[in-house]
Amino acid sequence: MPEKPRPRDEAARTDPDQLKNLLLVLEHARADAWFRRDRTALDALLAPDFIEINYFGRLSRDALLLRCFPHMALHTYTIEDPVLHQFGDETAALLYQCYEELTVDGRKMKGTYSVSALYRWNGKQWKLSLWQVTPLKKT
């Protein structure tokens, strides 16, 4: 039997405030998966054709999960001033500023960044399709 859409996900498609709140929950879940070093939880949030653009370049879903994930540890992550942009009923972007502290291959990094998180409705739930982080201030 096909999986039914979750009521909260379905309602968010027509209410911008609910959609913004849901996408914030998903962004916090993404950060939490990094905090807990839970690759399975992170994988469950991503669309099959997911792309991330970050310090290391343009990464496919597999490159992020298999090559990057083992080398990065997230210690601090904030979401500030989120703004929702909707593109029809099945695509939405959450734009925000974040502050993060992380370790990459033993090297500590921290800074303030601009994040663009593009989500798509797959008929059942919202999945992260594109995630881009751009430095604003590095310290």
- Domains of the chain with bracketed CATH: 7-138 (3.10.450.50)
Confidence at 13, pLDDT banded by 50, 70, 90: low
- CA–CA separation, 109 vs 77, rounded Å? 12
The predicted pLDDT at position 1 comes to 45
The predicted pLDDT at position 137 comes to 64
The DSSP bridge partners found for residue 30 are none
Buried b (16+ CB within 10 A) or exposed e, 39-66: eeebeebbbeebbbebeeeebebeebbe
pTM of structure? 0.88
- The per-residue pLDDT for range 71-84, each reduced to its tens digit, is 999 999 999 999 99
